[in-house]
């Protein structure tokens, strides 16, 4: 990790470095993704089968592309019962948290005879993407599917790449059963996103696509946006720890590494007012890296995007944290709740030394699908709101319209839209 003083220049340089990881810089892959999407739109299932053979080394067809009930049963039976129980408890926490986000339609009647309101309707079909292989993330499956189910989505479709044996990891299928997925298809990559966006003979078209994936999946979601809704274009994972001299250096080091192990592009940043803490954290990191399994990834991640920033005051540290707008923000200070009130930009905020970031990844309940690459300045975590639509309701009586029709006509005429004005005027011309 690089230890540097927090200055205006170092902060600017850091932000520029972090932004290089943004999916907006994946331009060299865009043509490949465009071609894949075009193939799926033109050839449907045939393209899915050919691309799956090419990228995953697996033969799929219309008879085996969809996961069967028997495959689901076999997968659940193959999963360690204790792990299955853990996933069930995590799912319950996620469901309870998201139930509190539910919105209701509302209507307001006024004395003049007008009625205004908002009708809340869930999207009809939601598509979820889950990466395959070593990156099979059953926790992300729960985080994507459960809010959709709580929102009232009628049909939830999941796509995930098969292994060369044509199978989906058992833990993925087990999580899908716990979460309540309706249909699962053995297809991955950009071709899976295209299939859900436009539909094929086997894979149904959906209204919204959510879920993490590699560069090709991220760019595919970007390119189909507008045909369907998406959650976000997710970048590499990131954690920022805000700490003072009271923080436990061993805890800080462990938490930084919990995100650095994701991949070589993950960022792990400590902002602290204590030089002693900074030195101790560096020493702890060196010890941990030597014995953790993903040593090569950790070393590369820390070399490229690992920083310890020394701030002159906590206010300066908070200002930098707000500018970085990290996906995950841990506050390990003497009074974390007080510091939290000054935080404006963060995907998820973890308070105190017993609220380590992985708690949010797996179990606590709040969603771990979070804004990355500084987008926490204007985006929020995935929620029930992502799976609903809001329609405005307007109903005026004749007397209510009579009281305002001249105002509406005048406004329309001021914009040169005389047909708009006429639409109101004809109701009172006699």
Catalytic positions, please? 327-328
Buried b (16+ CB within 10 A) or exposed e, 152-165: ebebbbbbbbbeee
Query: Measured between alpha carbons, how far is 326 from 333 in angstroms, rounded to an integer?
Result: 17
User: Strand, coil or helix: what is 225?
Assistant: strand
Question: What's the burial of 292, exposed, middle or buried (CB within 10 Å: 0-12/13-18/19+)?
Answer: middle
* Cβ-based neighbours of 339, under 8 Å, separated by 6 or more: 242, 314, 318, 331, 333
Q: How far apart are CA 146 and CA 278, in angstroms?
A: 39
Scanning the structure block, which residue is given the tokens 């990228």?
A: 55
Contact predicate 388/123, CB 8 Å: yes
CA pseudo-torsion sign 279, 261, 10, 325: negative
Tokens (6 digits) for 54: 């090419």
Half-sphere exposure of 384 (CA within 13 A, CB side): 20
What is the three-class DSSP state of 145? helix
The CA-based dihedral angle spanning residues 162, 166, 170, 173, taken in that order and rounded to the nearest 10 degrees? 60
Neighbours of 121 (CB within 10 A): 12
Cα(285)–Cα(281) distance, integer angstroms: 6
Distance from C-alpha of 214 to C-alpha of 122, rounded to nearest angstrom: 28
> How far apart, in whole angstroms, are the C-alpha atoms of residue 86 and residue 333?
31
Residue 342, both tokens: 């000054």
């Amino acid at each position: 990790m690089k230890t540097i003083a927090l200055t205006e220049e170092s902060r600017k340089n850091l932000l520029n470095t972090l932004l290089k990881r943004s999916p907006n810089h994946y331009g060299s892959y865009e043509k490949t993704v465009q071609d894949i999407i075009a193939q799926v739109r033109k050839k449907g299932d045939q393209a899915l089968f050919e691309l799956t053979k090419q990228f995953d080394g697996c033969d799929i067809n219309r008879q085996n592309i969809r996961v069967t009930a028997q495959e689901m049963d076999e997968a659940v039976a193959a999963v360690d019962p204790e792990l299955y129980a853990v996933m069930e408890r995590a799912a319950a926490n996620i469901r309870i948290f998201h139930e509190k986000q539910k919105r209701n339609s509302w209507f307001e009647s006024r004395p003049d005879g007008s009625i205004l309101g908002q009708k809340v309707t869930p999207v009809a079909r939601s598509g979820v993407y889950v990466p395959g292989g070593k990156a099979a993330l059953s926790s992300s499956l729960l985080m994507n599917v459960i809010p959709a189910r709580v929102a009232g989505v009628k049909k939830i479709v999941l796509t995930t790449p098969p292994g060369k044996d044509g199978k989906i990891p058992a833990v993925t299928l087990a999580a899908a059963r716990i979460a309540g997925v309706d249909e699962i298809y053995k297809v991955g990559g950009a071709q899976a996103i295209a299939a859900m966006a436009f539909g094929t003979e086997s894979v149904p078209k959906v209204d919204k696509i959510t879920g993490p994936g590699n560069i090709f999946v991220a760019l595919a979601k970007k390119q189909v946006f507008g045909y369907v809704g998406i959650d976000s274009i997710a970048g590499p994972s990131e954690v920022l720890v805000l700490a003072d001299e009271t923080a436990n250096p061993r805890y800080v080091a462990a938490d930084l590494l919990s995100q650095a192990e994701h991949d070589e592009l993950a960022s792990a940043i400590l902002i602290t007012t204590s030089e002693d803490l900074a030195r101790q954290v560096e020493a702890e990191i060196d010890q941990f890296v030597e014995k953790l399994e993903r040593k090569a990834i950790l070393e590369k991640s820390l070399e490229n995007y690992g920083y310890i920033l020394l701030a002159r005051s906590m206010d300066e540290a908070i200002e930098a944290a707000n500018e970085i707008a990290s996906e995950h923000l841990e506050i390990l200070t003497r009074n974390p709740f007080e510091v939290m009130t000054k935080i404006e930009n963060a995907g998820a905020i973890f308070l105190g030394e017993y609220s380590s970031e992985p708690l949010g990844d797996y179990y606590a309940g709040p969603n771990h699908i979070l804004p990355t690459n500084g987008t926490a300045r204007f985006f929020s975590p995935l929620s029930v709101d992502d799976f609903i639509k809001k329609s405005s309701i307007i109903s005026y009586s004749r007397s209510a319209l009579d009281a305002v029709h001249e105002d509406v006509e005048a406004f329309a005429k001021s914009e040169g839209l005389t047909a708009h004005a006429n639409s109101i005027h004809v109701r009172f011309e006699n």
